Structure 1
Amino acid sequence: MQNKIAMLRSDCAEVLASQVERLAPLKNQLVYVTGGTGFVGTWLAEMVSYLNDDHGFGTRLILAARDLDAFRAKAPHLAARADLELVSQDVRYLRELPEGVNYLVHAAATPDNRQHASDPIGSMETITRGTANLLDAAMKLPDLKKILNLSSGQIYGRQRIDEARIPETRPGTLSCDSIMSVYPEAKRYAETLCCAYWSLYKIPVVTARPFAFMGPYQGLDKPWAINNFFRDALKDATIRIIGNGLPERSYLYPSDMAAWLLAILVDGTPGHAYNVGSPTGVTLGDLAEKIKRYAQSSSIIEIRRMNDDRSRFIPDDTQCRKTLGLQVTVGIDEALQRSVRWLKTIA
């Protein structure tokens, strides 16, 4: 466990080296995170814990979620901290927030499409009703400074063939007669709701649109290609690519993700949306080869060619780069190597 904590602390120290001063507004503040025990919330907790321990921030954190036991099991070093409180909560039934909350991060709802397909109504209610409840409760907070609403890069739909990267200004193209639209359509509605509260009540809401990530705390049981590649490579099992290996994706290491989200929370402009993801793409075929190499695996890569998908899903990071001065600290190859090291510690 100590080796894992040392790896996480090193990641935090690296990415926050130039960000400590800009995050000073979080000092001695109370930050409340819905869906706080998931991938994003856990990484925010790592970042805040580092800032408290190494830079004396004195920030208090409340992580609210349904499954607290899972968090205690995966991150006991965080669950035991005095500056972190765990609260059992379902945002669909949220009515009030602690009066002293200064910053809100709304991260409820999982991007796992298996849950969207098995419980589409519940998934949509968590996002739509949960966001409405949070905004209503936020209006009663006397010392609220900012809300960060986590949306999704999926709201854009499929990336155009002639589009190298997806900018925040591009309108989405979703099919409302598909169960696969449950999550992104609900996120689009939640963004619009945040915009309405900002326009009508001046509730300071800023939106982040996360894309894809890889690294510590992302389980191998998730239904995404990269997770399957890691799982099979570490078992020396066949790495199967259903299509032709040409779809292009990008992956941001989670320490960068968490640092970007904190910067958006502090400095993001209310009413605006920011893509959060790496602008550097990699094909699934190349990704599988890299993971095999870094895992020193004897796996065979099988390209099954069951479709001719040549899609891309890569964000334009200009907004974060130019307006907030953010950049990718951990490149794709280093991120893959760190991910392998992490996964081997929990194998």
Structure 2
Amino acid sequence: MYARRPPLRAAHHGGVDALTAGARIFVTGGTGFFGRSLLRHWSARSAPPMVTVLTRSRAAFLGRYPEFASLDWLGFAEGDVTEAGSFPGGAFTHVIHAATESTIGPTLRPIERYRQIMAGTENALAFARACGAGRFLLTSSGGVYGAQPADMERVPETYCGMPDPLLPGSAYSVAKRASEHLCALYQDEYGLETVVARCFAFVGPDLPLDVHFAIGNFIGDAIAGNDIVVTGSGAPLRSYLHQDDLAWWLDHLLVSGTAGEAYNVGSDEAISIRDLAHLVRDLVAPHRPVRVALPLPPGPPSRYIPDISKARELGLQVRVGLSEAILSTYRELTGPR
């Protein structure tokens, strides 16, 4: 728990404040990493929209993040996104569905994970239709593309690869792809404008440090004064977008993304996991060694890097470079509380 400063970059871009100043936004997943990033983004705005967040426990969330307790534009509805009866009454202009559990999700059985994602998406879409919302933003995943071809430097939205649907381990990515199709069906059947954000990898002080996110693990190692540990070979190539940029992009896509289309959300600046570990060490723990568990394998490394040309056409940019993102994350997590 910590009190954050305003986002690293000012929150006023391209008229978004004016476009959503009178909006009423309903957010599922508003207490998770994506949701808190959005709440902090809106907090820094001169005219935040009215926002209602679906949460299992308002008291538990505010007990951990008391900085959100006294915001007159923020309200809460208690419930579970997988239960249709959890959604409140009232009218909303926009719905953001970001409620896919990324931290405990990998501990679920594949069939549980698939059902959770699909039930949550259909409930959120049905609610958007019932409450009169005109726009719906789904936070999907770059995992919908399946394995990125080794000769494809950055994967564009037009690439029609997909995860293997016959592998139980593909449950998350297959469910995300099916959720995107469900959005298209609701737009076709009911006229609900749906936009898909295919999200890649991120960094920021709200990112958990003790789960399966490599950059969070490395920053956590540095904070604890431990060696920086790479549990594999460190060969895979990844890229990281700071959570302040993430929130700006999602907010902008909610308003200005073309209905019926998907947009990659992430940085296009590739770095290997091994080099990332050394970069974290060099920036925030210069006296700690980096330990890599496995040697580099033969052949080209796996890639998970988005092409963000389409997002750039909307005026979106990577404003916070990786080094600045790592430094600011470390400083916020180790500074005065």
Give 1 or 2: higher helix fraction.
1
SS at match of 2:111: helix
Match of 1:46 in 2: 40
2:247 to 251, 254, 258: 258
* Change over 3 Å in CA distance of 1:238–1:296 after alignment to 2: closer
The CA distance in 2 between the partners of 1:80 and 1:338, in whole Å, is: 26
CA RMSD of aligned residues (A): 2.0
* Change over 3 Å in CA distance of 1:312–1:122 after alignment to 2: same
Contact kept, 8 Å, 1:35 with 1:106, in 2: the verdict is yes
Query: Displaced runs of 4+ in structure 1, greater than 4 A?
Result: none
Contact kept, 8 Å, 1:41 with 1:107, in 2: the verdict is yes
SS at match of 1:110: coil
What are structure 1's unaligned runs of at least 5 residues? none
1:215 aligns with 2:204: yes
1:109 aligns with 2:100: yes
1:284 aligns with 2:279: no
Contact kept, 8 Å, 1:220 with 1:228, in 2: the verdict is yes
1:98 to 89, 101, 109: 89
1:330 aligns with 2:295: no
The CA distance in 1 between the partners of 2:257 and 2:96, in whole Å, is: 13
* Change over 3 Å in CA distance of 1:259–1:29 after alignment to 2: same
Residue identity in the other structure for 1:111: S
Q: CA deviation at 1:91?
A: 1.3
Alignment of 1:15-164 (within 5 A): 15-19=10-14, 21-51=15-45, 55=46, 57=47, 59-95=49-85, 96-112=87-103, 115-142=105-132, 144-164=133-153
Answer with 88-97 or 181-190: which moved more.
Answer: 88-97
Answer with 161-170 or 132-141: which moved more.
Answer: 132-141
Answer with 257-266 or 303-312: which moved more.
Answer: 303-312
Q: CA deviation at 1:101?
A: 0.7
Match of 1:192 in 2: 181
Q: CA deviation at 1:35?
A: 1.3
**Which whole-Å deviations, capped at 9, do the CAs of 1:22-76 have from their partners, x for residues lacking one?**
332211221100111001111111112221xxx2x25211110224344213321
Identity %: 34
What are structure 2's unaligned runs of at least 5 residues? none
1:267 to 250, 256, 276: 256
Q: CA deviation at 1:343?
A: 2.0
Answer with 39-48 or 305-314: which moved more.
Answer: 305-314
The CA distance in 1 between the partners of 2:88 and 2:60, in whole Å, is: 23
Residue identity in the other structure for 2:113: S
Answer with 267-276 or 288-297: which moved more.
Answer: 288-297
The CA distance in 1 between the partners of 2:134 and 2:19, in whole Å, is: 10
Residue identity in the other structure for 1:217: D
The CA distance in 2 between the partners of 1:290 and 1:130, in whole Å, is: 38
Q: CA deviation at 1:241?
A: 1.8
The CA distance in 2 between the partners of 1:317 and 1:73, in whole Å, is: 37
Answer with 297-306 or 127-136: which moved more.
Answer: 297-306
1:5 aligns with 2:1: no
1:305 aligns with 2:299: no
Residue identity in the other structure for 1:18: H
TM-score, reference length from structure 1: 0.90
Q: CA deviation at 1:5?
A: 2.7
TM-score, reference length from structure 2: 0.92
Residue identity in the other structure for 1:339: T
Equivalenced residues, count: 334
Residue identity in the other structure for 1:246: A
SS at match of 1:274: strand
Answer with 300-309 or 326-335: which moved more.
Answer: 300-309
**Which whole-Å deviations, capped at 9, do the CAs of 1:162-193 have from their partners, x for residues lacking one?**
00001111113312343431111111111001
Residue identity in the other structure for 1:197: Y
Contact kept, 8 Å, 1:104 with 1:147, in 2: the verdict is yes
SS at match of 1:64: strand
1:236 to 205, 225, 243: 225
Match of 1:344 in 2: 334
* Change over 3 Å in CA distance of 1:295–1:33 after alignment to 2: same
Q: CA deviation at 1:216?
A: 1.6
The CA distance in 1 between the partners of 2:303 and 2:60, in whole Å, is: 34
Contact kept, 8 Å, 1:109 with 1:123, in 2: the verdict is no
Contact kept, 8 Å, 2:94 with 2:128, in 1: the verdict is no
* Change over 3 Å in CA distance of 1:311–1:257 after alignment to 2: same
Q: CA deviation at 1:331?
A: 0.7
SS at match of 2:44: helix
Contact kept, 8 Å, 1:244 with 1:306, in 2: the verdict is yes
Q: CA deviation at 1:120?
A: 3.1
